[in-house]
Amino acid sequence: MIMEKSDASKLGTSTKKDRVLSGTINFPDAIPTSEVIKKGARLMSLDFYRGLVMVLLMLESTGMYEHWLEMSGQGSFLNSLAEQFTHKPWHGLNFWDFIQPAFMFIAGAAMAFSLTKQTAMGRPWKEQAIHAIKRSWWLFFWGVFDYAVRGDHLSFELWDVLTQLSFTLLVAFLIFQWKISHQLLLSIGLLVLTECLYRFIHIPGFDQPFVDQQNFGNYMDMVLMNKINSGGWVAINCIPTAAHTIWGAVAGKWLIDQATVKGKLRNIVTLGIVALIAGYTLDITGVTPIIKRIATTSFTLVTGGWCLLALAFLYYWIDVLQHKKYLRFFTIVGMNSIFIYLFFEILVSRWLREYVEVIVNGVLSPIGLAHFVTLFISALAIFAIEWYLCFWLYRKKIFFKV
């Protein structure tokens, strides 16, 4: 991980360069897109999308959703709403099941802008490849480090989102210069490969494709880590979900290369709708159920489709229609997404959350506040600490990257 000081003073403002990327200003044909990228234009919708996902993850790290679920009455509307911020136990989808796909999709889209800018500036592919390999290594390292300590012993686990992202980003990078049609074909190939692995490799005890603790993904975890995740998560989820990062990179290419807003949106929306139809059809017909914990083909298609449509909507709303007010609260967080993720995964979950809860409860409970009220205040206090840390780094123009 490296730390950079950058000029972030343009964040949240609309400049001529920003509007070129969004397609709201038509430059003469003599000015290529690569030259616009080279000047440092940003896509505010992508910055907001990333920041929104990170803010939702930050709130989860404070225990906010957990407290909400515990305090709402079973079967009530509020309880049903709170359940949307938890993962489905197995078959089906909750809102929270879209967060990791969005995280990986956005990484692919951001990579498209980064690589296009690097190429426009004359950076050779070999240097880009070395950087991509180093980035994947550091993502893998931090992903393993995140869960390296379990109680009083060390643990080796490959289920963290950063570990998964280290693989999907590298795949997306290696095929980035391919034709878009070839990139999409490879992404479909990865989904077909996943289907084949689960359906046609019959390992005794692990030959039930979509049964928890008895599928091929569980078997591979035994091979790789000599253990199975009690929650049903599997390490080879990185194979099908590489499609999320590839589709993000493809969407980024379309946003950069298509000359018109209509062209950009048509391609992204079309791919999104096709993915949704294919994914829901597989699930409804019973061919392949939607299961996040083993990233089934139907799950990957449906969540990828919604990610594409979300990007299209945000691009049109923010970059085309120029609705850019009140975005900075989110974009500030997105500017240091990897750093804040590691901060709340390692420090907040293992120390700060309990520490703040004890302080808040000790101060407020004597004045008669109910326990659940102090828990919510504690969660808000933790979130305020996390957000202010991002704001402080932004003000100092310090950005951690891998």
Hey, is 60 helix, strand or coil?
A: helix
| CA 243 to each of CA 20, 59, 68: distance values in angstroms, whole numbers, following the listed order | 28, 27, 33
pLDDT of residue 76: 86
Give 99-144 pLDDT, tens digit per residue.
999 999 999 999 999 999 999 999 999 999 999 999 999 999 999 9
Residue 117 main-chain phi, psi, to 5 deg: -65, -45
Q: Which strand (E) or helix (H) includes residue 43?
A: none
Token representation of residue 231: 């929650």
Q: How far is residue 297's CA from residue 28's CA, in Å, rounded to a whole number?
A: 43
Burial of 298-309, coded b for 16+ CB within 10 Å and e otherwise, reads: bbbbbbbbbbbb
Give 84-107 pLDDT, tens digit per residue.
999 999 999 999 999 999 999 999
Token representation of residue 229: 């995740």
Hey, is 48 helix, strand or coil?
A: helix
Q: How far is residue 296's CA from residue 306's CA, in Å, rounded to a whole number?
A: 16
pLDDT of residue 198: 97
DSSP string, 247-259: HHHHHHHHHHH-S
Q: How far is residue 175's CA from residue 7's CA, in Å, rounded to a whole number?
A: 31
pLDDT of residue 36: 46
Which of 48-57, 177-186, 359-368 shows the lowest per-residue confidence on average (mean pLDDT)? 359-368
With a cut of 50, say whether residue 11 has pLDDT above it: no
Give 147-177 pLDDT, tens digit per residue.
898 888 899 999 999 999 999 999 999 999 9
CA angle 69, 289, 185 (to 5 degrees): 115
Q: How far is residue 248's CA from residue 106's CA, in Å, rounded to a whole number?
A: 6
Q: Domain extents for the chain? A: 2-401
Token representation of residue 308: 């594409």
With a cut of 60, say whether residue 26 has pLDDT above it: no
Sequence letter at residue 229: N
| CA 156 to each of CA 43, 144, 159, 160, 247: distance values in angstroms, whole numbers, following the listed order | 37, 7, 10, 11, 30
pLDDT of residue 15: 43
Query: Is the Cα torsion angle 391, 392, 394, 395 positive or negative in sign?
Result: positive
With a cut of 80, say whether residue 41 has pLDDT above it: no
Give 328-352 pLDDT, tens digit per residue.
999 999 999 999 999 999 999 888 9
Within 136-250, strands assigned E span 149-150, 153-154
Percent of all residues in the chain with a pLDDT value above 70, rounded to a whole number:
90
pLDDT: is 19 or 46 the higher one? Answer: 46
Token representation of residue 364: 């407020």
With a cut of 80, say whether residue 29 has pLDDT above it: no
- Of the pLDDT bands very low, low, confident and very high (cuts 50, 70, 90), residue 40 is low
Q: How far is residue 23's CA from residue 263's CA, in Å, rounded to a whole number?
A: 10
